Amino acid sequence: MFGAVSFCVGQSYAARSKTATPSWSVRWQPTKLVNGSPIVFQVKSPAPLKSLSGKWLTHDVFFEFDSEKGLWYGLAGASLETRAGSYPLTLEGATASGQKISFQQKVSIGRARYPTIPVKVAKKFTEPSPQQLEEIKHDQAVKSDLFARTTPEQEWSGRFLPPVQAPVSDVFGTRRVFNGKVQSMHQGLDYAVPSGTPIAALNAGTVLLARPLYFEGDCVVLDHGQGLLTLYLHLSEIGVKEGEQVKRGQQIGSSGGTGRATGPHLHVAVRWQGVYLDPASLFQLQVP
């Protein structure tokens, strides 16, 4: 875990002049960011805006306005590969009259420590045959095409909820060594649940993918808009169809042990504009 999550105690910056003119205010959660963190930015502009956009670590950040609070909110993230340091969040807004105003805020990212564990799987997952390599190549093309589709519209609403109520058996960021040879980074959470356990959608979205893949087994991918996806792997049963709209908490399938799995469990992952983020941290964010 990355510590307490709160806008109220989060770091902030306000550009102030010698006169008491309105200023920008930028806050974020979690309060302590590390590589792999999902981030919610909260922005208050010095003047009313009709639109606000941002750039963060070369990615677009889409902002939505909360009229009740008078604040703009944008969801972003820092990949596992992000090095510790200070990075700029660049903001550009447009007023009702069409005037452009901009602001830049430096945001610090720390370095998390993730464990390394050995994992034993079937040989075909570490030394695939030529036929299996073709299947893997096909799956990669399918995922590359689907994952490249980013829409600016937000489909989720409110907090993201865990897909099951069960213990976590492996955390995000674990370095895995398969059969003493193949190394990979665990890019999600594993839940120790028996085969057939109902799996719920983390939030509202559209079914982007619902089919079996070589490594993932039977899997479902939900598109929540703005480049945010959630993935549910190793299912024993898929309960939704591609293109279907689902609600937060709706059952989308049942857990299993298909694909590259050591046994029955659920692997859930969060992907934002091409990078994987820690689901456990996402569940704790106050998302509008």
| Domain 12-109, CATH homologous superfamily name and number | Immunoglobulins (2.60.40.10)
CA gap 40, 63 in Å, rounded: 10
Provide the pLDDT for residue 125. Answer: 63
Confidence band, pLDDT 50/70/90 cuts, at residue 1: very low
Mean pLDDT of the region 262-271: 93
Mean pLDDT of the region 165-193: 77
Provide the pLDDT for residue 176. Answer: 58
User: What is the domain partition of the chain in residue ranges?
Assistant: 12-109, 116-282
Widest CA span of the chain, in angstroms?
71
Provide the pLDDT for residue 39. Answer: 97
| Per-residue model confidence as pLDDT tens digits over 99-134 | 999 999 999 999 988 766 556 656 666 677 888 888
- Cα four-point dihedral sign 171, 175, 177, 181: positive
Provide the pLDDT for residue 10. Answer: 38
Query: Can you give the pTM of this predicted structure?
Result: 0.85
Provide the pLDDT for residue 47. Answer: 92
Provide the pLDDT for residue 9. Answer: 30
Range with the poorest average pLDDT among 105-109, 176-180, 194-198: 176-180
% of the chain exceeding 70 in pLDDT: 85
Q: Is pLDDT of 200 > 50?
A: yes
Q: Is pLDDT of 235 > 90?
A: yes
Average pLDDT score, the chain: 86
Confidence band, pLDDT 50/70/90 cuts, at residue 276: very high
Confidence band, pLDDT 50/70/90 cuts, at residue 12: very low
SS3 46: coil
Q: Is pLDDT of 184 > 70?
A: no
Provide the pLDDT for residue 16. Answer: 39
H helices of the chain, in order, are 130-147, 279-282
Q: H or E segment at 90?
A: strand 85-94
Burial class (CB in 10 A: 0-12, 13-18, 19+), 15: middle
Verify cis geometry, omega within 30 degrees of 0, for the bond prior to 163.
Answer: no
State the fold for domain 116-282: Glucose Permease (Domain IIA) (2.70.70)
Confidence band, pLDDT 50/70/90 cuts, at residue 206: very high
